[in-house]
Amino acid sequence: RKEVEQDPGPFNVPEGATVAFNCTYSNSASQSFFWYRQDCRKEPKLLMSVYSSGNEDGRFTAQLNRASQYISLLIRDSKLSDSATYHCVVNTLDDMRFGAGTRLTVKP
Amino acid sequence: DAEITQSPRHKITETGRQVTLACHQTWNHNNMFWYRQDLGHGLRLIHYSYGVQDTNKGEVSDGYSVSRSNTEDLPLTLESAASSQTSVYFCASSPGNEQFFGPGTRLTVL
């Protein structure tokens, strides 16, 4: 079993749609959590950190449930520019683990 | 502007050859990392360093080595390249939690 599991995708949604990505992690000692975005043939870039209290950045909302070892990312009012692969990332002491990524395509 | 660079961007080599991929950052970050990215696996950590002379093995370190002689550079060496090491390699540096990634090196081992 992988340490970080994500929805396999791909997600194909129309502009304006709301889309949710889910992620589970297996190591209960994990300390910090992130969502990274990766455009095709580019490097990953930090989208947002994820906190237990939940956090929002514009159209993006991230949630963390430590008891269930579950992380989510909600994108509202999807834009064409949101098309990318989204990686769930879990940090446990010295070990950074990436999920395999979920590909999102937003269509006109 | 501070940045992180990788070279070469593309490399084709033969099985059994030694290959070194360069990573250079100008942010003066203590933490540096090397990952490989393959379809279906996301990014997997190869080696990392928390400062000069410090190196640590990651999830998939077999067949790879790194050295950290200064803050700016963390070269990744494949001692004897294998076809299974064909991949895209990303270097990253970090002041703490957030990691900043280089543009990647696409390595093909024939």
Residue-wise pLDDT for B76-110, tens only, equals: 999 999 999 999 999 999 988 889 999 999 999 99
Q: Give the count of alpha carbons within 13 A of A84, CB side only.
A: 18
Interface mutation vs chain B, best among A96, A97, A102, A103, most B CBs within 10 Å? A96
* Sole residue written with tokens 């989510």: A72
In the predicted model, is pLDDT for residue A17 greater than 80?
Answer: yes
Q: Which amino acid is at B82?
A: A
Q: What is the mean pLDDT of chain A?
A: 92
Q: What is the pLDDT of residue A31?
A: 87
Size of interface A-B (CB pairs under 8 A): 41
Residues B61 and B46: beta-carbon distance below 8 Å = yes
Structure-derived torsion over alpha carbons of residues B36, B102, B19, B43, reported in degrees to the nearest 10: 0
Which residues face A62 on adjacent strands? Answer: A55, A73
Contacts of A99 in chain B (CB under 8 A): 42
For chain B, the average pLDDT equals 94
Contact A45 B101 (CB under 8 A): yes
Residue type, A25: Y
